[in-house]
Structure 1
Amino acid sequence: MLRLTQVILPLDHTDDDLQQAVLTLLNINEEDLLSFSVFKSGYDARKREQIKMIYTLDVDTLSNTELLERFAGNQNIKATPDTTYQFVGELPTEQTTHTDRPIVIGFGPCGLFIGLILAQMGFNPIILERGKDVKRRTKDTWDLWRNRKLHVDSNVQFGEGGAGTFSDGKLYSQIKDRKHYGRKVLNEFVQAGAPEEILTISKPHIGTFKLVKMIQNMRQTIIDLGGEIRFDSHVEEFVMDGDAVKGVRLRGSDSQGGQTIMSNHIALAVGHSARDTFEQLQKQNIYMEAKPFSVGFRIEHPQSMIDKERFGTNAGNERLGAADYKLVHHCKNGRSVYSFCMCPGGTVVAATSEEGHVVSNGMSQYSRNERNANAAIVVGIEPAKDYPGDPLAGIELQRRIEKAAYVLGGENYNAPVQLVGDYLNKKPSTELGDVTPSYQPGVTLTDLSVLLPDFANEAIREAIPAFDKKIKGFGRKDAVLTAAETRTSSPLCIKRDDTYQSINTKGLYPAGEGAGYAGGILSAGVDGIRVAEAMALSMLKQISEQ
């Protein structure tokens, strides 16, 4: 088959127009065309009144070989690549050929794919998740949102599915993916019940409700393949033998009763909020480094305003859906401010995992039809400038902001909020405008500038008017800022070598966002596949040496 890229058509084109574009590009007759399908579609909205659709197509004709020769110099006409997932190694013919069951700590997107791949390879992984299954976890999460009751091991951050479960469910990334692992992730999601369109649209998303059912299906697949998933299983300590990990010891109050589970292949996929785990790693001298992260606020605007400013008269077009944005501004003080985790037609949610803290995050359903758009507006924090020394110092900075936000909100899990106009004019807010904040369980109007370092306030105050020049109305006076956005990424990196093992702890495989190697559902899933392969290769080597 042929892969055609950069096939550009008007927004209002028909299916017949798409077929005609194929015939024209290849200069063939209709009878020579056997079939074509959309591999990927997106849009170019830089000119909002002349929005173009951009397609990548897979085409089959009566003369594929001849056409490839004719268009050999055309970078937009190539042979369709094989995107089928293939493991690089020879798998055991029977599951009983090994006794060392690998352990996966964490059941977010990364741990999910480590467990799935290992199970598909026949290695019977044991997956340990400190939180609850997604059904019970959803109930606990709503308990905070509705009743102000926090469950510290079952919330937006912890539990089956990880932090990505209560998000927009974005499934795109800028990672390099030459082995098509991203396609493997998307294919597994579709098999588990995700909409098939995630395979073809350029910025796919799932939404929270669809994610919940999908994760349940993937869990059952792992179990059916011989894997084991233990919820309410909080790893408290690593069993060590010199510089090698040999197992884990669970917290005694957990359902497993402080059980010790032995294995010399352990994946650590705990997410960016497992602060007690990071503290334990430091106690056991497992090497970590501080890494940059960002802090700031969530900003809310009417979604209709964002649609109009991004799409003009094309706002509301079914092919476009709810408009998103991605913004960045480099400030005079040397800092950068950028939008992060933009949620079209979504809500701002309570996302703390520690008592006496307030954390905000964004979430959308698949329909993206809520009134407001929201996104994090954050400024970069740099270890060398802002918290040199201890790798855990970034966590302490996050905690200081979150604790202060809790106090500022009224010490009842209300989020402190401020209108953009008041924030820019350095005065507390006392009443809302037309934009109604979506955060639950509630909000408290106040002055947010006391939460962040002076350089961060200075940078954000410079960035918002700059963003307003790109999206008119972005700096509107009654847009709402909600604090605190602190969990943008892990503030540390658990360093690993080219075998994906910790650089000073054999058998420990740091993985995903919490270890500093991913930033979202798709990239976490891809990193999970890489780590699973590395673990499998090591176990296969052990088997061959027995």
Structure 2
Amino acid sequence: MRLKITDIPVMPGDGEENLPALAADILGISPEEISGLEIMRKSLDARRSRPPLFIYAVVVSVSDSIIIPNIKDRRISKAPDLSVPSNHLRKSVLTERRPVVVGSGPAGLFAALFLASAGMPVLLIERGRAVPERIRDVEDFWGRRHFHPESHVHFGEGGAGTFSDGKLTSRVKNPLTAWVKKTFVEMGAPTDILIDAKPHIGTDRLRGVVVQMRRRLQELGCEIRFDAKMTDLIVHQEAVTGIVINGKEEIATDRVILAIGQSADDSYEMLLDRGVRLVPKAFAVGLRVEHPQALINEIQYGPWIGPDLPPAEYVLTARIPTLDRSVYTFCMCPGGRVIGCSAIEKGVITNGMSVSLRDGVFANSAVVVNIRTDDFAGKSFDPLSGLRFRRQWEAGAYDLGGGNYSAPAQRLVDFLRGCLTEGKIKTSYLPGVVSAPLDRALPRFAVEALQKGLTAFNVKMPGFITEEAVLIGVETRTSSPVRIVRGEDGQSVSVRGLFPCGEGAGYAGGIISSALDGIRAAEFLLKSCQ
């Protein structure tokens, strides 16, 4: 029989080789009676009031003839069936015209992989460039401040996640999550992502994973084209009949999976012109905060800090009743760096990025405040008003930074005091920062909420407010401010054959949820062919 055992504590520095003995002790049997053990989950309990512990969940195999004395222990249960639902029963699904997947971020890649695995011929187009060329363009921006409109942190193979921490956390409960992670491992991701409670790949390894996914797709017969921007959607009688690439090449198709990401403002405008129903959506804006990683380790681990513990993380939230706002940290990157990820010319946007080892000297996180649709749309209900709202503040950050893609920055204590930071600001930010008053970088209500929220954070995490902490602006691409409305069949409610998905459609956020939403779109497309 197979039994699941949870809440097995292991001290940092103690090896996983002790798990069979610990599991046997919980069961009330000898270690020799366990014929197999599989680690299902590993998390870190690092509450500051006590020494940190790694907490394991495992599945053990024991003979059916063995009596388990402690079978009623709450930590013991029958092991669940972990088989992953598969699409492999659907083979050689054919359509008159092959479907087109637009976008090669997580949603687009997994949508194409799901379709290709079902034997369906697929065309995958991406407006940006392949990983090697894209890396050169991004590094050119960071090093020489040359902005490439179609090849940057947001556009290109792998989507925005290619230049990120590569987090694989998600609140979505979906059995296909295991298949997504397993696919990443097959493509070269570390096996730890299968068991870690907070898995991440890291930008360095994720780039290779994305390239391997491209090769897998090509082996399955998927055609992939880079520098191929969908400039028009051909609609006849409220149904897709084709797309136009780069303003000149027409591709006939009756099914399009739209996985454009949240930074394709021109695509949103085109879709609206073609009658695709869009609505404004709430999102969040704010700043990036950066501390020395050693300081975060000291705060979080206290006297138990040591080499067997990973770089410390944090998640902080604060409700601001007087402003009816919420302030929270987002996309925290231990041992990472803050990067410039401009998506528009003469605009500054920040984000965080870490390599797989998370061995940088800084820790950073977005600190954002919720933005409601009435903050930018008012009573007009203009579906594109959120795009203009965030562009306004991105352009403002560009001007505050001196008009050369440097980001405006300020020590956290100076931001709270309302005074300009003097002297050199020490930060990891690429391509560079200049001292500027960040109370001019965001709407007044957002600034006030952030100041109150940061103060509250210091109560929850004493030491968060420090002379060493730096704020960098602005963080505006937390999620899409637009939703492409879809029905219960996964298709646009206004244009048949159009399957919006991922972050750009306003239905996902992060690598895992976007990948799952891409698979969902592919499943709906397959059903529409039956």
Q: Same fold (TM over 0.5)?
A: yes
Partner of 2:411: 419
1:6-85, aligned counterparts within 5 Å? 6-47=7-48, 49-63=50-64, 71=71, 74=74, 76-85=76-85
* Cα offsets for 1:126-185 (capped at 9, x unmatched): 0010000011001000111000100011000000000000000001111122xx111111
Shift of 1:84: 2.3
Structure 1 gap ranges (5+): 253-257, 542-546
Shift of 1:498: 1.6
1:170 and 2:167 matched? yes
Task: Give the Cα separation in 2 of the matches to 1:298 and 1:330.
Answer: 19
Task: Give the Cα separation in 1 of the matches to 2:483 and 2:435.
Answer: 36
Structure 2 residue identity aligned to 1:249: V
Task: Give the Cα separation in 2 of the matches to 1:48 and 1:168.
Answer: 28
1:328 and 2:323 matched? no
* Contact 1:85/1:181 (<8 A) preserved: yes
Task: Give the Cα separation in 2 of the matches to 1:385 and 1:445.
Answer: 28
* Contact 2:3/2:76 (<8 A) preserved: no
Task: Give the Cα separation in 2 of the matches to 1:362 and 1:504.
Answer: 37
1:111-150, aligned counterparts within 5 Å? 111-150=108-147
1:510 and 2:500 matched? yes
Shift of 1:17: 3.6
Task: Give the Cα separation in 1 of the matches to 2:527 and 2:368.
Answer: 40
Shift of 1:64: 7.9
What secondary structure is seen at the aligned counterpart in 1 of 2:410? strand
1:215-230, aligned counterparts within 5 Å? 215-230=210-225
Deviates more, 1:300-309 or 1:492-501: 492-501
Shift of 1:76: 4.0
Shift of 1:262: 1.4
1:110-509, aligned counterparts within 5 Å? 110-177=107-174, 180-252=175-247, 258-318=248-308, 320-331=309-320, 332-388=322-378, 389-432=381-424, 436-509=426-499
* Contact 1:83/1:183 (<8 A) preserved: no
Structure 2 residue identity aligned to 1:147: R
The TM-score, its normalising length taken from structure 1, stands at: 0.93
Structure 2 gap ranges (5+): none
Task: Give the Cα separation in 2 of the matches to 1:316 and 1:206.
Answer: 23
Task: Give the Cα separation in 2 of the matches to 1:70 and 1:298.
Answer: 49
Shift of 1:12: 4.2
Partner of 2:90: 91
* Cα offsets for 1:334-375 (capped at 9, x unmatched): 101110111111111110121110111110011111111011
Structure 2 residue identity aligned to 1:245: V
* Contact 1:41/1:56 (<8 A) preserved: yes
Partner of 1:544: none
Shift of 1:29: 2.4
* Contact 1:114/1:529 (<8 A) preserved: yes
What secondary structure is seen at the aligned counterpart in 1 of 2:242? strand
Deviates more, 1:31-40 or 1:15-24: 15-24
Shift of 1:48: 5.2
* Cα offsets for 1:70-93 (capped at 9, x unmatched): 847847412232232312x8523x
* Cα offsets for 1:96-136 (capped at 9, x unmatched): x4432111000001101001111111112100100000110
* Cα offsets for 1:433-472 (capped at 9, x unmatched): 6xx1111221110101112111111101101111112222
Deviates more, 1:381-390 or 1:370-379: 381-390
Task: Give the Cα separation in 2 of the matches to 1:16 and 1:113.
Answer: 36
Task: Give the Cα separation in 2 of the matches to 1:500 and 1:526.
Answer: 13
Task: Give the Cα separation in 2 of the matches to 1:397 and 1:386.
Answer: 6
Task: Give the Cα separation in 2 of the matches to 1:75 and 1:289.
Answer: 46
Structure 2 residue identity aligned to 1:402: E
Task: Give the Cα separation in 1 of the matches to 2:465 and 2:455.
Answer: 6
Structure 2 residue identity aligned to 1:240: V
What secondary structure is seen at the aligned counterpart in 2 of 1:124? coil
* Cα offsets for 1:358-401 (capped at 9, x unmatched): 11111001111111101111111000344232111111110000
Supply the RMSD in Å over aligned alpha carbons. 1.8
Deviates more, 1:346-355 or 1:378-387: 378-387
What secondary structure is seen at the aligned counterpart in 2 of 1:514? helix
Task: Give the Cα separation in 1 of the matches to 2:253 and 2:503.
Answer: 23
Partner of 1:106: 103
Structure 1 residue identity aligned to 2:6: T
Task: Give the Cα separation in 1 of the matches to 2:53 and 2:98.
Answer: 51
Task: Give the Cα separation in 2 of the matches to 1:363 and 1:64.
Answer: 52
Partner of 1:255: none
Structure 1 residue identity aligned to 2:172: I
Cα distance change of structure 1 residues 63 and 90 upon mapping to structure 2, 3 Å threshold: closer
Task: Give the Cα separation in 2 of the matches to 1:468 and 1:380.
Answer: 20
Shift of 1:39: 1.1
* Contact 1:290/1:391 (<8 A) preserved: yes
* Contact 1:104/1:269 (<8 A) preserved: yes
Task: Give the Cα separation in 2 of the matches to 1:66 and 1:270.
Answer: 56
Find runs of 4+ consecutive structure 1 residues off by over 6 angstroms: none
Task: Give the Cα separation in 2 of the matches to 1:503 and 1:66.
Answer: 58
What secondary structure is seen at the aligned counterpart in 2 of 1:138? helix
Structure 1 residue identity aligned to 2:434: T
- Give the paired residue count: 526
Shift of 1:495: 1.4
Shift of 1:66: 6.7
Structure 2 residue identity aligned to 1:155: H
Task: Give the Cα separation in 1 of the matches to 2:65 and 2:89.
Answer: 33
Task: Give the Cα separation in 2 of the matches to 1:76 and 1:99.
Answer: 53
Cα distance change of structure 1 residues 524 and 188 upon mapping to structure 2, 3 Å threshold: same
Structure 1 residue identity aligned to 2:333: C
* Cα offsets for 1:187-242 (capped at 9, x unmatched): 00000011111111111111111111111111000000000111000101101111
* Contact 1:349/1:439 (<8 A) preserved: yes
Task: Give the Cα separation in 2 of the matches to 1:467 and 1:262.
Answer: 54
1:536 and 2:521 matched? no
What percent identity do the matched residue pairs reach? 39
* Contact 1:49/1:311 (<8 A) preserved: no
